[in-house]
């Protein structure tokens, strides 16, 4: 145990103090959203609820839920609670259809975010003496800039290399003496293979990895820890709530500490939406307690996990969530990118009046996700010329790349090739084992 | 113009056999064929004695097929006749693909898919080739 804690006052407060703080913040937040966000005001009015009815945490269950569809319906800025002049940054993630989900941050939100990420890094034993290579994507995706600001806030050195260019990643790691890498766990697996193949492991100073943006298992953690001799930490977040840093595991690796003075977690049965007891699997629902630009009440993450409120051996008293068991919706996470089958459907509709029969196949090759799509070549798509069929493959690939930000490998197959059960084709075959069974 | 039977063949063993079987069982004779292969699929192009019947039979067996207009050009079975035909077609016209056909008799020729079939046909006819 390194015993380092970034914000001991907040991270180790007593259960009673935590409850009081969360209650006070919730009451204040509900008042704000009621007055600033017409969507919530209308919802609460329909439920016969006034801000004054929420007196503390015990009233949380009275509040309305928020879904990704609500964000889509108010695209792009309809749920913002501040004037646009107060927004200092936007990020976006996949929506369920063509439009992305847009999130905004005030200066205060960015400060909160970098506080959370600094807590996570400290939890992983990272200090100002470290050199952190951020190999998450920079841009609209929250990963790169989220980690970046956290590292700067901590006072460590940030190497903002962003994704891919594996050879360059290795070169900088070697030349700069990188001690911490932040990237998706599957990409770290790929980096590990490249490091071992190049035989440069003895030249590296690497000791820690901050991995997130996709679900992964203990099996992969053990594999990489053994292969590289480094310690891996599992950082969790979603752009709707903030980005990476909503929770992370400490050195005890006994669950992921939720920054619950900012993000209030609930575990609910996804069907009945009733609370499930600690230790039982349910859907994680989060209320942002201090978020200024985009405060969300009871946002349904659709991530399935369990929760404990027992204090951890690291002294932190925050609630901890277990490794993810799956999703309560059909969202896929491919190479760290969130993909909804409905997005794929919508994109393929562009190919003709009726979309082709297709099937997505996801696998792990080495440690990387492969993303293949089979397209049944019906007569209307068929040509006697190879060049024409190659154009079709290319068009499918381009259409999906633009819609998803991921390049699929397209395979043209004969009609009837895709298995149908009870006449219905299974659209997605996910052969990866990324969730805890 | 002649009709070619074009068939999409997935990259699985036994698919070509399936096409041949369906045509045989329906009494369709394959006079000539060529197979273009790629990593994932093949395109089978055939000249048959009864193309329409072949198409119908393949469709009935859920095999992706269609008819394609091609030029059938008989050429003399001797050195230089292919060059002569290509001279007449001209180097300004793109040939998408071409394969030979033969009959039970001494006649032989080429099956041609070109970008400008009407122009090519006219040029060949003017040079005393016959075109089907």
Q: What is the pLDDT of residues B76-109, one digit of tens each?
A: 888 999 999 999 999 999 999 999 987 777 778 9
Do residue A384 and residue B4 have CB atoms under 8 angstroms apart?
yes
Q: What pLDDT sits at residue A194?
A: 94
Both tokens assigned to A24: 């006070």
What is the distance between the alpha carbons of residues A188 and A184, in angstroms, rounded to a whole number?
6
Is the pLDDT at A107 greater than 60, yes or no?
yes
Mean pLDDT of A170-193: 95
Q: Residues of A near B (CB-CB distance < 8 A)?
A: 377-379, 382-387, 389-390, 411-417
Q: How many CB atoms lie within 10 A of CB B26?
A: 15
Given pLDDT bands bounded at 50, 70 and 90, which one contains residue A350? confident
Tokens representing B88 are 């007449």
- With a pLDDT cut of 70, the percent of chain B lying above it is 99
Residues A232 and A343 in one domain: no
Same domain, A30 and A81: yes
Cβ-Cβ contacts under 8 Å, A420 against chain B: none
Nearest-CB residue to B96 (from A378, A385, A413): A385
The number of domains in chain A is: 2
| Closest to A384 in 3D by CA, of B12, B62, B47, B88 | B47
A-contacting residues in B 12-51 (Cβ below 8 Å): 12, 15, 36, 38, 40-41, 43, 45
A96 and A38 fall within a common domain: yes
* Residues in B touching A415 (Cβ below 8 Å): 62, 64
Give helix A107-123 / helix A142-154 axis angle, nearest 10°.
70
- pLDDT confidence tier of residue A18, bands split at 50, 70 and 90: very high
Across the interface, do B64 and A389 touch by the CB < 8 Å criterion?
no
- pLDDT recorded at residue A30: 98
Average pLDDT, chain B: 93
Superfamily of domain B70-126: ACT domain (3.30.70.260)
- Single out the residue of B68, B38, B59, B35 nearest to residue A413, CA to CA: B38
- Tokens (6 digits) for A339: 């993909």
Asked whether residue A52 is domain-assigned, the answer is yes
Helix axis angle, A185-198 relative to A166-176, nearest 10°?
70
Residue A222: CB partners within 8 Å, gap ≥ 6? none
Whether B63 has its CB under 8 Å from any CB of chain A: the answer is: yes
pLDDT in tens, A56-102: 999 999 999 999 999 999 999 999 999 999 999 999 987 766 688 99
Q: Is B60 on the interface with A (CB under 8 A)?
A: no
Residues of A in contact with B66 (CB under 8 A): 379, 382, 384
| CA pair distance A165, A148, nearest whole angstrom | 19
* pLDDT reported for residue A255: 96
Residue B127's pLDDT band (boundaries 50, 70, 90)?
Answer: very high
Q: Compute φ and ψ for A274, nearest 5 degrees.
A: -95, 150
Q: With an 8 Å Cβ cutoff, are B8 and A386 in contact?
A: no
- The side-by-side arrangement of strands in the sheet containing A368-376 is A409-413, A368-376, A358-365, A428-430
Q: A356 to chain B: which residues are within 8 Å by CB?
A: none
Give the C-alpha separation, A164 to A264, whole Å.
34
Looking at the structure, do residues A316 and A409 belong to the same domain, yes or no?
Answer: no
Q: What is the pLDDT of residues A384-394, one digit of tens each?
A: 999 999 999 99
Do A287 and A342 belong to one domain?
no
| Bigger pLDDT: B77 vs A291 | A291
pLDDT at A417 over 90: no
Contact A415 B12 (CB under 8 A): no
Query: With an 8 Å Cβ cutoff, are A389 and B41 in contact?
Result: yes
Residue A24 pLDDT more than 70?
yes
Minimal Cα–Cα distance from B60 to chain A, Å? Answer: 13
Q: What's the rounded mean pLDDT across residues B19-48?
A: 95
pLDDT recorded at residue A422: 65
A373 to chain B nearest CA, in Å?
Answer: 12
A141-159 residue pLDDT tens: 999 999 999 999 999 999 9
Domain C-terminal end among A329, A364, A394: A329
Length of chain B as a residue count: 132
More confident residue, A349 or A13: A13
User: Is the CB of A377 less than 8 angstroms away from the CB of B8?
Assistant: yes
Residues in A touching B67 (Cβ below 8 Å): none
Q: Is the dihedral of CA A94, A75, A237, A104 positive or negative?
A: positive
**pLDDT grade, residue A309 (50/70/90)?**
very high
Question: Residues A391-422, buried b or exposed e (16+ Cβ, 10 A)?
Answer: ebbeebeebbeebbbeebebbbbbbebbeeee
Chain B residues close to A373, C-beta within 8 Å: none
User: What is the DSSP pairing of strand A157-159 with strand A131-134?
Assistant: parallel
Q: Tell me, what's the pLDDT at B73?
A: 94
For residues A349, A351, A354, A359, the Cα torsion angle rounded to the nearest 10 degrees is -70
The yes or no reply on domain B2-69 and CATH 3.40.50.300 is no
Residues of B in contact with A416 (CB under 8 A): 62
Residue in A closest to B9 by C-alpha: A414
Say what the pLDDT of residue A336 is.
86
Q: What is the pLDDT of residue A353?
A: 60
Residue A74's domain is classified under what CATH number?
3.40.50.12780
pLDDT at B53 over 80: yes
Residues of chain B with CATH 3.30.2130.10: 2-69
Instruction: Name the residue facing B10 among A379, A387, A417 (closest C-beta).
Output: A417
In this structure, is the dihedral angle defined by the CA atoms of residues B87, B89, B94 and B100, taken in order, positive or negative? Answer: negative
* Same domain membership, residue A375 and residue A325: no
pLDDT-derived band at A421 (thresholds 50, 70, 90) equals low
> Looking at A329, A359, A380, which one is the last position of a domain?
A329
Same domain for A347 and A325?
no
- B8 to A414: CB separation less than 8 angstroms, yes or no: yes
Which of A202, A201, A89, A142 has the alpha carbon at shortest distance from A338? Answer: A142
pLDDT tier at A423, thresholds 50, 70, 90:
low
Pick the residue of B2, B5, B10, B13 with the most A CBs within 10 A to test the interface with A by mutation.
B10
Q: Check whether residue A296 and residue A346 sit in a common domain.
A: no
Structure confidence by residue, pLDDT tens digits, A356-374: 889 999 998 888 899 999 9
Cα gap B121→B127, rounded to integer Å: 10
What is the reported pLDDT for A398?
94
In a domain, A279, yes or no: yes
Residue A64 lies in a domain: yes
Query: In chain A, what residues touch B12 (CB-CB under 8 Å)?
Result: 414, 417
CA–CA distance, B93 with B38 (Å, rounded to integer): 25
Domain membership of residue A61 (yes or no) is yes
Residue A57, pLDDT score? 97
Residues A250 and A128 in one domain: yes
**Nearest alpha-carbon partner for B120 in B82, B49, B71, B67:** B71
Give residue A218's pLDDT band: very low, low, confident or very high (50, 70, 90). confident
pLDDT at A126: 98
ipTM over 0.90: no
Taking an 8 Å cut-off on Cβ atoms, the answer to whether B64 and A385 are in contact is no
Pair A36, A104 in one domain: yes
Q: For the segment A227-268, what is each residue's pLDDT rounded down to a tens digit? A: 999 999 999 999 999 999 999 999 999 999 999 999 999 999
User: Is the CB of residue A250 less than 8 Å from the CB of residue A257?
Assistant: yes
The answer to whether residues A383 and A284 belong to one domain is no
Residues of chain B with CATH 3.30.70.260: 70-126
Strand B108-114 and strand B95-102: the pairing is antiparallel
What is the CATH number for A407?
Answer: 3.30.300.30
Mean pLDDT for the stretch of residues A94-123: 92
B83: contact with A, CB 8 A cutoff: no
- Chain-chain contact of B66 with A384 (C-beta, under 8 angstroms): yes
Among B41, B47, B61, the residue to mutate for chain A (most A Cβ within 10 A): B41
Residue A414 is encoded by which pair of tokens? 């004969």
Q: Does B102 touch chain A if contact means CB atoms closer than 8 Å?
A: no
* CA atoms within 13 Å, Cβ hemisphere of A352: 12
Which candidate, A291, A271, A269, A300, places its Cα nearest to that of A282? A269
Q: Which residue has the tokens 């149908």?
A: A420
pLDDT for the residue A219: 85
Q: Which of A384, A385, A412 sits opposite B40 (nearest CB)?
A: A412
- Asked whether residue A1 carries a pLDDT value surpassing 60, the answer given is no
Same domain, A25 and A163: yes
Does A413 sit within 8 Å of B10, measured CB to CB?
yes
Q: Which helix (H) or strand (E) holds B83?
A: helix B81-89
Task: Report if residue A437 sits inside a domain.
Answer: no
Contacts of A411 in chain B (CB under 8 A): 40
Question: What secondary structure does DSSP assign to A5-50, as a single string?
Answer: -S-HHHHT--HHHHHHHHHHHHHHHHHHHHHH-HHHHHHHHHTT--
A282, containing H or E segment: strand A282-288
Average pLDDT, chain A: 93
**Domain containing residue A375:** 334-430
CB pairs under 8 A between A and B: 54
Q: Where a domain ends, among A300, A329, A358?
A: A329
Question: From A412, which residue of chain B is nearest by alpha-carbon distance?
Answer: B40
The residue with greater pLDDT, A348 or A10, is: A10
């Amino acid at each position: 145990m390194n015993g380092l804690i970034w914000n001991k006052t907040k991270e180790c407060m007593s259960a009673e103090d935590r409850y009081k703080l969360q209650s006070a913040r919730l009451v204040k937040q509900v008042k704000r959203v009621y007055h600033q966000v017409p969507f919530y005001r209308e919802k609460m009015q329909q439920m016969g609820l006034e801000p004054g009815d929420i007196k503390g945490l015990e009233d949380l269950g009275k509040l309305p839920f928020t879904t990704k569809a609500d964000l889509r319906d108010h695209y792009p800025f309809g749920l913002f609670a501040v004037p646009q002049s107060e927004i200092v940054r936007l990020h976006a993630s996949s929506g369920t259809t063509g439009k992305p989900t847009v999130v905004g941050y005030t200066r205060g939100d960015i400060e909160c975010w970098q506080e959370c990420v600094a807590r996570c890094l400290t939890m992983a034993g990272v200090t100002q003496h470290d050199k952190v290579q951020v190999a998450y994507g920079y841009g609209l995706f929250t990963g790169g800039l989220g980690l970046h600001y956290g590292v700067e806030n901590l006072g460590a050195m940030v190497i903002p290399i962003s994704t891919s260019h594996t050879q360059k990643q290795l070169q900088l790691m070697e030349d700069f003496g990188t001690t911490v890498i932040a990237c998706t766990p599957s990409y770290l697996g790929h980096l590990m293979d490249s490091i071992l193949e190049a035989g440069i492991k003895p030249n590296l100073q690497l000791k820690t990895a901050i991995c997130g943006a996709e679900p992964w298992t203990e099996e992969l953690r053990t594999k990489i820890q053994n292969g590289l001799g480094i310690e891996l930490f599992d950082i969790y977040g979603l752009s709707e709530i903030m980005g990476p840093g909503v929770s992370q595991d400490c050195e005890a690796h006994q669950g992921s500490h939720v920054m619950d003075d900012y993000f209030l977690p609930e575990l609910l049965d996804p069907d009945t939406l009733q609370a499930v007891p600690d230790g039982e699997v349910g859907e994680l629902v989060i209320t942002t307690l201090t978020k200024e630009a985009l405060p969300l009440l009871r946002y349904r993450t659709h991530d399935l996990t369990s929760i404990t409120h027992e204090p951890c051996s690291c002294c932190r008293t925050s609630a901890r969530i277990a490794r993810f068991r799956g999703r309560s919706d059909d969202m896929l996470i491919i190479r760290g990118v969130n993909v909804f089958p409905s997005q794929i459907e919508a994109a393929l509709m562009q190919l003709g009046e009726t979309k082709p029969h297709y099937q997505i196949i996801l696998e792990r090759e080495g440690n990387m996700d492969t993303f293949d799509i089979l397209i049944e070549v019906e007569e209307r798509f068929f040509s006697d010329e190879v060049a024409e069929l190659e154009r079709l493959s290319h068009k499918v690939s381009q259409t999906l790349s633009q819609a998803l930000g991921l390049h699929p490998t397209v395979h043209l197959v004969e009609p009837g090739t895709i298995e149908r059960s009870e006449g219905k084709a299974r659209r997605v075959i996910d052969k990866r084992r990324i969730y805890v069974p | 113009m002649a009709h070619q039977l074009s068939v999409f063949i997935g990259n699985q063993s036994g698919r070509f056999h399936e096409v041949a079987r369906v045509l045989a069982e329906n009494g369709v004779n394959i006079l000539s064929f060529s197979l273009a292969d790629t990593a994932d699929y093949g395109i089978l192009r055939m000249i048959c004695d009864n193309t329409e019947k072949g198409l119908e039979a393949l469709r009935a067996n859920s095999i992706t097929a269609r008819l394609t207009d091609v030029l059938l050009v008989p050429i003399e079975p001797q050195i230089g006749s292919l060059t002569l035909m290509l001279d007449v077609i001209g180097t300004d016209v793109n040939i998408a693909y071409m394969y030979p056909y033969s009959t039970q008799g001494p006649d032989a020729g080429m099956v041609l898919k070109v970008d400008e079939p009407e122009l090519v046909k006219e040029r060949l006819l003017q040079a005393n080739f016959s075109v089907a």
